[in-house]
Amino acid sequence: MITFGENKYKITLKYMDIGDDLLVIITGGKEHIGSVSLIDNGSYSALSKIGHKDEIISKFATDAISTLIKKDILVVCGIHLDDATQNDIKILMQNAQNCVEKFLVEYDLV
């Protein structure tokens, strides 16, 4: 498990190999499933709950990981903070990106 940030800005990234595939789960605040992004044989697809913007982070993660690894990748993302300001969102997005960067190092991709 990888974490970055503190208190309401804490983001957690968990990952697991499932056979030849990779599952990545990114959460923060009130954990939930907001979006899923899939790289399947190089093709990208995504689903998001109505009104959720978590795909911005799940797409970033699939893009960052898939350029360095030749596996099918599913990223599940759910980050929610009540009454989030633009600055809150900026911090959460940066912390999520930092988690992905830490994952790339831990998974020996960089």
Question: What's residue 109's pLDDT?
Answer: 83
- Once rounded to an integer, what is the mean pLDDT over residues 16-33? 96
Task: List the domain boundaries for the chain.
Answer: 13-106
Quick check: 6 pLDDT over 80?
Answer: yes
Please give the C-alpha separations between residue 5 and each of 19, 50, 71, 95, 97, in angstroms, as whole numbers. 31, 27, 28, 6, 11
Query: Does pTM surpass 0.75?
Result: yes
Quick check: 83 pLDDT over 80?
Answer: yes
Other C-beta atoms lying within 10 Å of the C-beta of residue 72: 18
Other C-beta atoms lying within 10 Å of the C-beta of residue 93: 16
Q: Which CATH number fits domain 13-106: 2.60.40, 3.40.50, 3.40.30, 3.30.230?
A: 3.30.230
Quick check: 86 pLDDT over 90?
Answer: yes
Quick check: 87 pLDDT over 90?
Answer: yes
| Mean pLDDT of the chain, nearest integer | 95
